[in-house]
Every structure is written in C-alpha cells, then in structure tokens.
C-alpha cells in the first residue's frame, strides 16, 4: 500500500520555556524544527516574556510562535516536536504548568480540528493565552480563522496583555 505525499499545510507552532537560558533553547529549537524533513519555516515571531500560568515560584517564560509549511501529518509533526523537546533535555514530570526547559506545541494545523488522546488542534486554551495570541498575531493574517473560536484579530482584542512584553526581535 502506497501513501500519497500530503499537500503542504501551514501550521503554527508555539515555543516556550523558562529554564536553562530559554532564549538560546528556543533559538536552537527553531533551527531543529526547520531542519526536519517535510518542514519549512515561513515566519517566526519576536520573543515574548510572560508570567507563569501556574505556580508563581518559577522564572518567567519566554515564548514565540513559528509558522511552518509542512507535508507531515499532524501526528507526525507532533512526534517530531516531541523528539526535539527530548533532544533539548525536556523531562515530562506530569506537573501541569510547571517549569520546563522546552515546550513545543502545535497551535494550528491548516484549518483542521483534531481531538484525540494525544493531540488537540486548535491547541487548548489558544483563545485566551496572551503569550500565544500576540506572537501569533505578529506573524499571521489578522483575519486568520481559529477553527471553532473566531478570528485572530477578535481574540487578540479580547485578550489582555497581563504583563506580556516583547524582549527580542529575530
């Protein structure tokens, strides 16, 4: 049985971390993502500093969003991102919103909706997370439709900054 290669799809990826020099780790992860066969970088946002969502006794997070064109299926893209996290020292402790070296998420995959035990697209919480919406708005069209949630520009307008700040343009 042969599989037809997938047509290229635009996906948006969230990158974040707050341990072990996150700016360098996110820059390294960006290069690693772009080096995966079947992925081509289209755009990369500025780096943003944000307060932690969970426990406050941890360093601020550094976040960015990357737009890619990919021929990988959604779960194949997820596997590639998990391998990059692992290669950068990510250890999954099961602690929700705890400190982490590197967190890579698929925010959007074309205009698809996926909800299974390993992957949810659009990413859970995308509509109210300033550290996702503002970097995404920096590199995407304002009229980008977030499936089931509305237009990106409307979501950004309804989302307060909560101390989010640009710390570096690349």
Q: Which residues are catalytic?
A: 90, 100, 103, 105
- 101: three-class secondary structure by DSSP: coil
User: By three-state DSSP, how is residue 84 classified?
Assistant: helix
Instruction: Judge residue 37's burial from the number of C-beta atoms within 10 Å of its C-beta, 0-12 exposed, 13-18 middle, 19 or more buried.
Output: exposed
Spell 85-110 as b/e; 16+ CB within 10 A means b.
beebebeeeeeeeebbbbbbbbbbbe
Please report where in the chains the tokens 């708005």 appear, as a residue.
137
């Amino acid at each position: 049985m042969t599989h037809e290669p997938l047509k290229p799809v635009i996906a948006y990826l969230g990158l974040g971390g707050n341990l072990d020099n996150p700016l360098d780790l996110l820059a390294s992860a960006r290069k690693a993502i772009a080096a995966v066969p079947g992925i081509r970088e289209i755009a990369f946002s500025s780096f943003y500093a944000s307060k932690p969502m969970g426990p406050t006794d941890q360093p601020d997070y550094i976040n960015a969003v990357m737009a890619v064109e990919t021929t990988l299926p959604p779960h194949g893209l997820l596997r590639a991102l998990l391998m990059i996290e692992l290669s950068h020292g990510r250890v999954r402790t099961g602690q929700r919103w705890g400190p982490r070296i590197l967190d890579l998420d698929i925010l959007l995959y074309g205009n698809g909706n996926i909800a299974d035990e390993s992957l949810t697209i659009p990413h859970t919480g995308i509509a109210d997370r300033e550290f996702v919406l503002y970097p995404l708005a920096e590199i995407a069209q304002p009229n980008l439709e977030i499936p089931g949630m509305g237009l990106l520009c409307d979501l950004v307008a309804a989302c307060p900054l909560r101390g989010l700040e640009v710390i570096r343009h690349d």
